[in-house]
Amino acid sequence: MSDNQETPKEGKYIYGIIRHDGPIDFGPIGMGTRADLVYGINFKGITAVVSNSPIIIYEARRVNMIAHANVLEIIMKQFTVLPVRFSTISEYADDGGVLTILEKEFKKFDEMLTKMEGKKELGLKILANETAIYENILEKYENIKSLKSKLINLPVDKTHYQRMKIGEMVAEALKKETGNYKDMILETLSPLSDDVKINDCYGEMMILNAAFLIKNTIESDFDHAVNELDEKFGKFMTFKYVGTLPPYNFVHLVINTKGV
């Protein structure tokens, strides 16, 4: 390090909030390359899980995001956790700054933990199997099938606009079919969920990108429902089912670390 570059001051990186009373640590798994101890700072049974960290802005690169997520997933093995926004750092080298946050936000943290107690997030992404779903559309939609058969033996250069029309009809049918599948899947899974967050889909072949907030006690029922849907629709789509996750989609916890 050159002489004109100062060493960053030390603070406390905050990963999440749990309900716990007394000392606790999760081992040397902190952000960055220093392997700082991840431990708890407690106020009246509400604990912030933190580690020492330089006061820097961690870039949202894969290695950093994974390190942050790994800590939360380890915490989740024992506790309900409120995940805190990535790269939240108290600008105090001692525990005092975090204790002030816990005291100031105690009521909010307590209410949020009560709401999330005994629940987890499960993620589901569903992608259409392109070949199978297009074949189904050509078989199911008689108007598309009929027009396509009329053009099959005609020269391409003389049927340009008709072929464009077929493309438009197929795109519209695909939108309709994927919408119907999405509705059927959500009608099955939503009643088993305490909450559902529908996220943006990427590309026309993604049918659903959703997160479900599930009580731990009915996780096996939810798993069974997903497996039945997979068996029913597996020819036409691929299910990517992920869990258990911290409730990122249902807890939006931004902590103001300035001035405390």
Same domain, yes or no: 180 and 235: yes
Q: What is the pLDDT of residues 102-160, one digit of tens each?
A: 999 999 999 999 999 999 999 999 998 878 877 777 777 766 666 666 666 665 666 56
Same domain, yes or no: 84 and 141: no
How far apart CA 74 and CA 246 sit, in angstroms, is 10
Same domain, yes or no: 148 and 74: no
Return the pLDDT at 2. Answer: 46
Same domain, yes or no: 230 and 209: yes
Same domain, yes or no: 109 and 143: no
Beta bridge partners of 212: 122, 196
What is the model's pTM?
0.81
How far apart CA 47 and CA 157 sit, in angstroms, is 71
How far apart CA 148 and CA 154 sit, in angstroms, is 10
Q: What is the pLDDT of residues 164-182, one digit of tens each?
A: 776 777 778 778 878 888 9
Instruction: Report residues of the chain scoring pLDDT below 70.
Output: 1-5, 142-163, 166, 259-260
* Domain end point (choices 96, 117, 138): 117
H or E stretch at 143 = helix 142-151
